Amino acid sequence: MELLTSNHSGYPRIGDSSDEQMLRRAVAQHDVDEGSDAEVRAAEDHLILLAIKEQRISGLDIVTDGLIRWNDPASHLAGKLQGVRINGLLRFFDTNFYFRQPVVRGKIERVGPLVVNEFVWAAKKSRQPVKPVVTGPCTLGHLSICEVGSVTKGDLIMAFAEALAAEVAELAAAGARLIQVDEPALLKYPADMTLAREALTLIASRKGEAELALATYFGDAAPVYAELQALPVDTLVLDFTYSSELPSVIQSEGSTKRLAFGVLDGRNTRPEDEDATARLVERMLAQAKSERNYLTTSCSLEYLPRDRAQAKLQRLTSLKKSLLGKAL
Amino acid sequence: MSRSKLRELGINLPLLPVTSVGSFPKPDALRKARADFGREKIGQEELREAEKTAVKWWIRKQEELGLDVLVDGEMYRGDMVAYFAEQLSGFERGGLVRSYGNRYYHKPIITGEVKWSNPITVVWWRYARGLTSKPIKGILTGPYTLMDWSFNEFYPTRRDTCLAMAAQIRHEAEALVGAGCKIIQIDEPAISARPQELAMAIEAMRIVTSGLRAYFITHICYGDFESIYPGMLDLAVDNFDLEMSNSRAEMLPLFRKSSFTKDISYGVVDVHSHVVEEPEVVEKRLRNGLEVLPCESVWVDPDCGLKTRTAEEAIAKLKAVISAAKVLRDEAE
């Protein structure tokens, strides 16, 4: 059985050193009309290269671009869609991170790439495979306000799904082998599961040869695990920090999909007990039928300071070694 | 309605009293002093003088503008959680994490038992009080937010952490009351983060405010209010300071369904936009609120702290708030 380490999604776009604060300075200058778009772009490029390097040095098998260019998971994608404008700040689920809320005012249409160009750029710069990430249709639907009278929440989610399906098709065509759809909203609004199935069916139909991963986090996946297993995706990325039951559920129900075990807490600096974590994953792996699975963090690493984020990645590598040492 | 409580405390306010949430932008001289202090170019004393000058400037400005309940502007604070974490033992300064957009802060890490040993805000409250005859709010970060916005490497559970924070913030509230502070605001922006933990937040707030002779306000913002209303009304405070502008007054239908039973500080200007609202826009927002809320119970203010705006923008927004309050106050009287 193959066990790969993967960055979940985001990575800190700042650190304590002057070099790591280049993007903050560039954006601040830009905000007061003293810096250009090109300077911000160059700073983003620099921070992405740093993020990729730190992931590689930490020993990861699969990296991301750290979502460094994203202001937040909602506006970065929805803001590029026709029919959507971006409004005020709102808390992102139960974090102390805030996103700008999309307001849907007309027909949602994808008029250009959302993250494809970012993926292509990062993939060229990385020795490791790069995983592109998109925010899922249910999450975008729930984080948005809809001002179009006759549009239901279901319509809205399917409209986002159509745009994302086109994006996933282009990502796959651009060479993405593993594409992650982030759906934290699914655990907060489990009643959306039927809608999610419909939306993901549409997205999966455009994925080509790529592996499609669904990431749920910021909630307990145990009560909906069976429904998640029935969704049309290849891989489930799971957050284990909200649920003491999830490992037992996986042990008893197994998995027909690849699993990404988000066993290291992406929201807290406390280092996990490596032996206990290894034992936990080992028990679940025994029931997973897939030939390949992943080790990752519970969510994006953007919620941690840079040094602690890198420490979590190093711990993933160490956890993998520990598990491989037990002859996986 | 807590107007009688205010009177008992010796505070007489007009209808629709105007206040602000707490923070104001730091003047350039203070920004430079903070940067110089960080680079060890100046000492603590010099920084303190720059902070005092800035507090004095904002007190004068609030008086000039005509606010009814003043704040010191938090010239001596960086982040609302980190500031308290720096003064309480048991915390370590963490690295930078993003709050939103291009805003970052040093998120504290709890590495040991958290303990209050000396008053944290009292010296600043006393200083501000000495500059004006108007009431000055004491402003503390609440236990739930201190817990939720810190990393925890010490306490076994979130509840243990939250209640430990409450016991320490209680000491600070007692110190403020002891110094003569009669209006204390407990900032709890995180409180709607996990609706299932509302009972814990209520228990913690009770620890902080119970039995203390002061008028308590809690500031809550940028959250999912629907998920904690009306349960949040059980928080042991007199007044809820809410962002009603950014949230597009989405709470008003909730208030129609289930009455808002406390006083409210009604946020009428967006603090995250450079655009200064037209007076009629602000007036309309307030008017909408007064269709649902009794005028006697309503205070008026910006959505949140104004520290992210320029001084000019902050002042212009405060003027818009005051102008709207005055129009509606005149109508009501």
Tell me the two tokens of residue A228.
């998640």
B95 part of contact set with chain A, CB < 8 Å? yes
> Which domains occur in chain B, in start order?
3-332 (3.20.20.210)
Digitized pLDDT (tens) for each residue of chain B, 333 residues in all: 578 999 999 999 999 999 999 999 999 999 999 999 989 999 999 999 999 999 999 999 999 999 999 999 999 998 899 999 999 999 999 999 999 999 999 999 999 999 999 999 999 999 999 999 999 999 999 999 999 999 999 999 999 999 999 999 999 999 999 999 999 999 999 998 888 999 999 999 999 999 999 999 999 987 778 889 999 999 999 999 999 987 777 889 999 999 999 999 999 999 988 889 999 999 999 999 999 999 999 999 999 999 989 999 999 999 999 999 999 999 988
Q: Where are the alpha helices (DSSP H) in A103-145?
A: 116-125, 137-143
- CATH number for the domain spanning A263: value is 3.20.20.210
> What's the pLDDT at A310?
98
Instruction: State the average pLDDT for chain A.
Output: 95
**Do B95 and A307 count as a contact with CB atoms less than 8 A apart?**
yes
> What's the pLDDT at A217?
98
Query: Would you call A312 helix, strand, or coil by DSSP?
Result: helix
Helix axes A116-125, A153-173, angle to 10 degrees: 30
Secondary structure letter of residue A127 according to DSSP: S
Digitized pLDDT (tens) for each residue of chain A, 328 residues in all: 899 999 999 999 999 999 999 999 999 999 888 889 999 999 999 999 999 999 999 999 999 999 999 999 999 999 999 999 998 888 899 998 999 999 999 999 999 999 999 999 999 999 999 999 999 999 999 999 999 988 899 999 999 999 999 999 999 999 999 999 999 999 999 999 999 999 999 999 999 999 999 999 999 999 999 999 999 999 999 999 988 899 999 999 999 999 999 999 999 999 999 999 999 999 999 888 889 999 999 999 999 999 999 999 999 999 999 998 865 4
Beta strands in chain A (DSSP E): 2-5, 81-91, 98-110, 133-135, 145-146, 178-182, 211-215, 235-239, 258-264, 292-297
CA distance A136 to A157: 9
**Do A89 and B107 count as a contact with CB atoms less than 8 A apart?**
no
> What's the pLDDT at A34?
87
CB pairs < 8 Å spanning A and B: 81
Query: Would you call A237 helix, strand, or coil by DSSP?
Result: strand
* Minimal-distance CA residue of chain B relative to A188: B194
> What's the pLDDT at A324?
87
CA distance A156 to A150: 10
Question: How far, CA to CA in Å, does B312 sit from each of B69, B279, B302, B317, B319?
Answer: 20, 16, 15, 9, 11
B272 part of contact set with chain A, CB < 8 Å? yes
**Do A97 and B102 count as a contact with CB atoms less than 8 A apart?**
no
Residue B36 burial (10 A CB sphere; 0-12, 13-18, 19+): middle
> What's the pLDDT at A327?
52
Contact (Cβ atoms closer than 8 angstroms) between residue A316 and residue A297: yes
SS3 letters for B194-213? CHHHHHHHHHHHHHHHCCCC
Please count the structural domains in chain A. 1
* Minimal-distance CA residue of chain B relative to A268: B151
The distance of A211 to chain B (nearest Cα, Å) reads 31
User: What is the span of the domain harbouring residue A254?
Assistant: 2-325
CA-based diameter of chain A, in Å? 59
CA distance B283 to B232: 27
* Minimal-distance CA residue of chain B relative to A27: B102
Cα angle B165-B170-B171, degrees, rounded to a multiple of 5: 105
pLDDT digits (tens, 9 = 90+) for A69-88: 999 999 999 999 999 999 88
Output the pTM of the full model. 0.89
Which site among B79, B93, B102, B187 would you substitute to test the A interface, given the most A Cβ atoms closer than 10 Å to its Cβ?
A: B102
> What's the pLDDT at A326?
64
B151 part of contact set with chain A, CB < 8 Å? yes
Looking at chain A from residue 77 to 136, which residues have their Cβ under 8 Å from any Cβ of chain B? Answer: 88-91, 93-100
Query: Would you call A326 helix, strand, or coil by DSSP?
Result: coil
Contact (Cβ atoms closer than 8 angstroms) between residue B53 and residue B11: no
**Do A31 and B109 count as a contact with CB atoms less than 8 A apart?**
no
CA distance B207 to B142: 11
A304 part of contact set with chain B, CB < 8 Å? yes
